[in-house]
Amino acid sequence: MNGIKNSLKSIYWDREIETAPREEIEKIQLKRLKDTVGYFYKSNPVYRKHLDSKGVKPEDIKSLEDIKYLPFMDKSTLRENYPLGYLCVDKKKIREVHMSSGFTGKPVMMLYTEQDIDQWATCMARCYRMAGIEEGTVIQITPSFGLFNGGFGFYHGARKAGLFVIPTGPGNTLRQIKLANDLKTEVITGVVSYGIRIMEVMKDNNLSIPSLKKGLFGAEVFSQKMKKRLSSGLGIEVFDIYGMTETGGVGTTGMDCPFHNGIHVWEDQYIVEVVDPNSGEPVPDGQEGELVFTSLTRRAVPVIRFRSGDLSSIKSREKCDCGRTHLRIDYIKGRVDDMLIVKGVNFFPGQVEEVLMSIPGVREHYQIIVEEKNGIKNAYLHVEAEEGVDSSQIEKKLGETLGVSLKSKIFKPGQLERKPGKAERVVYMREKKEKSRG
Ligand SMILES: [Zn+2]
């Protein structure tokens, strides 16, 4: 479909839309916003009631700023209507389902029509071209193929972008490395911790994948320092891909481009707002807050003003050096509900990771253990490090940088448990806390 329009070596999937002037993008956004709200209102009684209870009608949306009159949706509104409460189409039109990997309670379910799968694949195809991944490139997809959206998201997009797919899923890392060498894999995709796992197994076995050039990673805590480690450990350029179950899966909301200066959000597909996590009021560009997404083209289950729980800020609405005009958000700092408060100090797992990865000899596996006794939270750290690193060094650096006192216990490389799937960076000893991202 888009094959003719896009030459083999294009760095854009759809140059016209990816580089459209801002006024043009905003015109598309307003039209699609009106259409989506009207469509959702008309085709879904639950959403209609939701809007009616706030005294808002679809016709009230006359400009993009009017989006602020629409009520928020969040994980709980989606969960309360599990499984099919927010469905806008006949069930016979559904082609696929994915679910969030939350640890407790009902999962968030995302349903896809044929058109929704195509929208997802198009977002992903844009990400691939943005990373300079051309038709015919050999790509190894390591996230699992199942209810988690990762495996299928990379797959649908790769099919559209004309890539040579090796759908390994996660695990059996030695075999993955062999296969990568046999077929000359050029691009690898995965959750961050699996990228680390591959790097580790290569190092321990003195192996390499010389053909590998690029990696697309996401879905977990991902500090800039960890990104650097992955990049140098695997000898590749690393891209931070963003998306979540509720917006339709990996890559739907965007990725960073080769200039690595924030994440481009596909603005003709989504409106992104940044709000104060407490008051819900919009904050100015540059100020940190919670990201809120509105889908503009999804049919089975649209989301309108979905509170993602992810903290970031609008980095720039100016045209990027890559030529794209779609705005950039800063790299995700953490999730609102992942913020830890220990002895009066607030911090995020990603900040701890950033500090750890700046200490030579500290390895990429760590866990923050949170204990709650009589309502008082205490946290300590389990971290793998090479010989010569001692815990006081880590504690001192954490104290200096974050002002937090975290007792640290050092483990030899390989000693901490590796679990399949997403890494559990924060372990709650008494109550498990809900957290999921894509
Ligand atoms: Zn760019």
- Using the mean position of ligand 1's atoms as its centre, give its distance from the Cα of residue 319 in Å: 8
386-395 tens-digit pLDDT: 999 999 999 9
Query: Distance between CA 166 and CA 176 in Å, rounded?
Result: 10
Q: Beta strand pairing status for 187-191 and 214-218?
A: parallel
- Using the mean position of ligand 1's atoms as its centre, give its distance from the Cα of residue 328 in Å: 8
Helix (H) or strand (E) holding 11: none
- Using the mean position of ligand 1's atoms as its centre, give its distance from the Cα of residue 160 in Å: 21
- Using the mean position of ligand 1's atoms as its centre, give its distance from the Cα of residue 288 in Å: 21
Query: Distance between CA 9 and CA 15 in Å, rounded?
Result: 12
Residue 104: per-residue pLDDT:
58
Residue 335: per-residue pLDDT:
87
Query: Distance between CA 276 and CA 285 in Å, rounded?
Result: 12
Domain locations along the chain = 1-336, 339-428
Report the alpha-carbon angle 391-396-397, nearest 5: 100
CA neighbor of 240 nearest in space, from 213, 276, 270, 264: 264
43-84 tens-digit pLDDT: 999 999 999 999 999 999 999 999 999 999 999 899 899 999
- Using the mean position of ligand 1's atoms as its centre, give its distance from the Cα of residue 321 in Å: 6
CATH node for 1-336: 3.40.50.12780
Query: Distance between CA 168 and CA 144 in Å, rounded?
Result: 8
- Using the mean position of ligand 1's atoms as its centre, give its distance from the Cα of residue 21 in Å: 14
Handedness of CA 303, 304, 308, 312 (dihedral sign): positive
Is 339-428 in CATH node 3.30.300.30? yes
- Using the mean position of ligand 1's atoms as its centre, give its distance from the Cα of residue 308 in Å: 23
Query: Distance between CA 181 and CA 201 in Å, rounded?
Result: 14
**Hey, is 179 helix, strand or coil?**
helix
Q: Is the pLDDT of residue 241 over 80?
A: yes
178-195 tens-digit pLDDT: 999 999 999 999 999 999
Please compute Rg for the chain using Cα positions. 22
Q: Is the pLDDT of residue 306 over 60?
A: yes
74-115 tens-digit pLDDT: 998 998 999 999 999 999 999 999 998 665 567 899 999 999
Q: Is the pLDDT of residue 320 over 70?
A: yes
- Using the mean position of ligand 1's atoms as its centre, give its distance from the Cα of residue 266 in Å: 11
Q: Tell me the mean pLDDT in the region 321-328.
A: 97
Residue 220: per-residue pLDDT:
84
pTM of the model: 0.90
